[in-house]
Amino acid sequence: MAKQFVLGNSIADVDRVFPDKKIRLVQLGDVKVCLVRFKDAFYAFEALCPHQMANLSEGMITPFGEVVCPLHHYRFDLNSGRVSNGNCRELRLFSAKLTESGLMIYL
């Protein structure tokens, strides 16, 4: 069963905390997750690169909607988790949805 977490109390709260393409590392229960806003959507994904466990919050977001690992520059699609440059398993994604009550994340 998925666990649900809410960040912020409103859309305005979330907008202040998440500028476009700035990756944030958050602790949700006992799980660390990276969160990012890219254009008009929010994405949540595992905090460590599946290749060699580099911290993805230190990476960057490309104009094509990919998170780039800071260690070996592997790129992962924010919509599918698929690795587009590199050779490892896909990035684990979590559901993130902006609501009037804040940013809902489902683990």
pLDDT of residue 21: 96
What is each CA distance from 106 to 29, 72, 75, 78, 86, in whole angstroms? 11, 29, 23, 16, 27
8-55, pLDDT tens digit by residue? 999 999 999 899 999 999 999 999 999 999 998 999 999 999 999 999
The architecture of the domain spanning 4-106 is: 3-layer Sandwich (2.102)
71-106, pLDDT tens digit by residue? 999 999 999 999 988 899 999 999 999 999 999 999
d(CA 95, CA 73): 24
Domain residue extents for the chain: 4-106
For residue 93, which amino acid is it? Answer: L
